[in-house]
Amino acid sequence: MFLQVTMSLLEGFKTTFNIFILTLLFALPLGLIISFGSMCKVKFIKWFVKTFIWIIRGTPLMLQLIVVYYGPGLIGTWAQEAIKTGVASGAIMEWLASWHVFERFFALILAFVINYACYFSEIFRGGIESIPRGQYEAGQVLGMTKVQVFFKVVLMQVVKRIIPPMSNEIITLVKDTSLARIIMVYEIIWNAQKYIKSEGLLWPLFYTAVYYLLFCGILTLLFGYIEKKLDYYKI
Amino acid sequence: MSILKVENIYKRFGKIEVLKGVSFEMNKGEVLSILGSSGSGKTTLLRCINFLEKADGGVISVDGDVIFDASDKSKMTAADIRRSQLNFGMVFQSFNLFPQYNVLENVTLAPKLLAKEDPNYHANKKAILAEIDEHAKELLARVGLSEKLDSYPCQLSGGQQQRVSIARALALKPKILFFDEPTSALDPELTGEILKVIRSLAQQNITMVIVTHEIGFAKNVSDRIIFMDNGVIAEQGTPAEVIDNPKNERTKAFLNLISQKE
Ligand SMILES: Nc1ncnc2c1ncn2[C@@H]1O[C@H](COP(=O)(O)OP(=O)(O)OP(=O)(O)O)[C@@H](O)[C@H]1O
Ligand SMILES: [Mg+2]
């Protein structure tokens, strides 16, 4: 039984891990882009992005999962209904009527990426804004372009500064993956819960903690290692 | 022909007018010091000349070419500004070294990036990079830091950091080197080593503009002195004229105040 549970949880953990990796892979670069938006000199873009971040950070991820998964389908049905009853028509309505639910896993990753990109963007923004103006000016008077100053001078300093808050957020992500079962993506906790219903066993649920702990432990070590690697200079 | 000509520079920040028509010229190989009380606009003047601030009025020419004209916006693309900036080197009060690079990398970073724009770069990459390293080591030897090539800025004293930043500014072979109070962030003992380096640069006929509060040093090293007061040049001339026989009341008051402190 123990072996069977272990393997079943491992299966669930694969999904957990995939959610984690895919979210990181897309949310990190997207977060950087969003952070540029939130520091944009064009007021309209800046406030649009800031409002978006406020909405995403101000609502539960669980709710966002539900909206992303069921939302498009609901809009599609509503538009079809409206066209059928003649309440509305036109190209936009036709287009809305073609909306349908996303594939489960896609919807899940989409919601996670948007949510985490917003959190990451605020960490990036804090990091970028904490770099003294003198660094930009020194690069500029040495004839570097803006892009060179960002990538050659500023970015490494930002990375060093944001590793502690980033590692915090990334470890939170590991545990947030358990929300996937809200839209029935079967991650590790769901696999453990099965055993309550089918066999009346509670311990597999507790057993999942071992997986989380091990995984977060590895991440903690990894971040410690990176921090040490960057210890050769001080900002 | 003068190497640098600054005509009628105006600059305001919001309501306050910081520069109210500043003009001066300097010749190749000259050392010009700018004195003046705090808030008189010395830093702002340097920043307007090397494009860290945009002047509201005035014209700046290098070697007879106009590089900035406030009334002519056409020549002011980012690329133009960048090209013009390469005429100047700047040493900041707070060093502004790049913390993640070691001493040698701090000096070679900008020249190596610039070399990539050379059309022959790919053909002669090795030779070009080796030459940049060679030149950087030479400069670091000149400021007495040959032993510290591999150190990081956080491992250096303030005086050593400032010497790295001087080498870094020289690495791009600027026509004119600007210093904004290069010793004000340093202890008195460390001030001496920087002044020594600047003095040796003066002997090598490097054209320099130095904003400083070290009157004795300015008098000793400069060919000409400008005294700024409240956004204008109140007095300019040789050190003998401005420091030993000031005509302007404000200059006299300023020099008195400084000598009392010392
Ligand atoms: N970015 C800025 N925004 C607003 N005001 C500024 C700015 N930079 C400088 N000023 C103002 O301009 C005036 C001149 O400043 P500046 O730094 O040029 O003086 P300074 O002669 O270099 O003084 P110090 O000897 O203290 O360095 C000051 O009143 C200062 O407050
Ligand atoms: Mg100043």
- What is the predicted ipTM? 0.92
Distance from CA of B88 to the nearest CA of A (A): 7
Between CA A189 and CA A209 the distance in angstroms is: 9
A55/A24 Cα distance (integer angstroms): 21
Whole-number Cα distances in Å, B113 to B86, B107, B233: 13, 11, 38
Tell me the pTM: 0.86
How far apart are the two ends of chain A, measured CA to CA in Å? 54
Q: Which tokens hold the place of B98?
A: 């790049």
Place of tokens 């009527």: A97
Q: At B41, is the pLDDT very low, low, confident or very high (cuts 50, 70, 90)?
A: very high
3-state DSSP call for residue B91?
strand
Query: What are the strands of the beta sheet with B65-69, ordered from one edge?
Result: B16-26, B4-13, B57-62, B65-69
User: What is the per-residue pLDDT across B208-217, written as a single tens digit (0 to 9) for each?
Assistant: 999 998 888 8
> How far is residue A171's CA from residue A215's CA, in Å, rounded to a whole number?
9
Cα distance from N-terminal residue to C-terminal residue, chain B: 39
Could you tell me which residues come within 8 angstroms of residue A62 by beta carbon, excluding any fewer than 6 positions away? A179, A182
Please provide the CATH number assigned to the domain covering A2-232: 1.10.3720.10
Q: Residue B21 has what pLDDT?
A: 92
What pLDDT, on a 0 to 100 scale, did the predictor assign at position A2? 81
Give residue B222's pLDDT band: very low, low, confident or very high (50, 70, 90).
very high
pLDDT in tens, B161-198: 999 999 999 999 999 999 999 988 888 888 888 889 99
Q: Which pLDDT belongs to residue A170?
A: 94
Please identify among residues 81-140 of chain A the ones whose CB lies closer than 8 Å to any CB of chain B.
132, 134-135, 137-140
User: B4 pLDDT exceeds 70?
Assistant: yes
Q: What pLDDT does A101 receive?
A: 80
B13 CB near ligand 1 (under 6 Å): yes
Facing residue for A153 by CB, picked from B50, B85, B98: B98
Reading chain A (235 residues) residue by residue, the pLDDT tens digits are 888 888 888 888 898 999 999 999 999 999 999 999 999 999 999 999 999 999 999 999 999 999 999 888 888 888 888 888 877 777 888 888 888 888 888 989 999 999 999 999 999 999 999 999 999 999 999 999 999 999 999 999 999 999 999 999 999 999 999 898 888 888 888 888 888 888 888 888 888 889 899 999 999 999 999 999 888 888 7
Question: pLDDT at residue B75 above 70?
Answer: no
CA distances from B220 to A96, B26, B177, B189, B196 (A): 79, 18, 18, 18, 11
**Cα-based distances in Å from B56 to A99, B44, B69, B188, B193:** 55, 12, 9, 37, 37
Name the pairing type of β-strands B176-180 and B208-211: parallel
The DSSP letter of residue A130 is T
Asked whether residue B16 carries a pLDDT value surpassing 70, the answer given is yes
- The pairing of strands B88-91 and B176-180 is parallel
Pick from B240, B186, B176: which is nearest to B208 by CA?
B176
- Measured from the CA of B228, which atom of ligand 1 is nearest? 21
Angle at B28 between CA B25 and CA B32, to 5 degrees: 55
Paired tokens of A167: 């590692």
Assess whether pLDDT exceeds 90 at residue B74. Answer: no
Kindly list the distances between the CA atom of residue B27 and the CA atoms of A142, B32, B233, in Å, as whole numbers in the listed order: 23, 10, 18
Q: What is the pLDDT of residue A79?
A: 85
Mean of per-residue pLDDT scores for chain B: 91
CA distance A233 to chain B (A): 6
Q: Residue B132's pLDDT is what?
A: 94
Query: Which residue is associated with the tokens 């219903």?
Result: A197
H or E element, residue B180: strand B176-180
Question: A56-101, pLDDT tens digit by residue?
Answer: 999 999 999 999 998 888 888 888 888 888 777 778 888 888 888 8
For the Cβ of B39 lying below 6 angstroms from any atom of ligand 1, the answer is: yes
% of chain B surpassing 90 pLDDT: 66
pLDDT at B262: 62
Distance separating alpha carbons of residues B99 and B86, to the nearest angstrom: 23
* DSSP string for A187-232: -HHHHHHHHHHHH---HHHHHHHHHHHHHHHHHHHHHHHHHHHGGG
Name the residue of chain B whose CA is nearest to A137's CA.
Answer: B52
Q: Are B164 and B107 in contact (CB under 8 A)?
A: yes
- The pLDDT of B141-150, averaged and rounded, is 92
Region B207-230: mean pLDDT is 91
* Chain B neighbors of A154, CB-CB under 8 A: none
Query: Angle, nearest 10°, between helix axes A203-229 and A155-176?
Result: 180
Pairs of residues, one from chain A and one from chain B, whose beta carbons lie less than 8 Å apart: 62
Contact between B30 and B224 under an 8 Å Cβ cutoff? The reply is yes
**pLDDT greater than 90 at residue B22:** yes
The predicted pLDDT at position B190 comes to: 85
**DSSP sequence for B16-82:** EEEEEEEEEEE-TT-EEEEEE-TTSSHHHHHHHHTTSS--SEEEEEETTEEEEETT-GGG--HHHHH
Q: B interface mutation test: which of A137, A141, A155, A163 has the most B CBs within 10 A?
A: A141
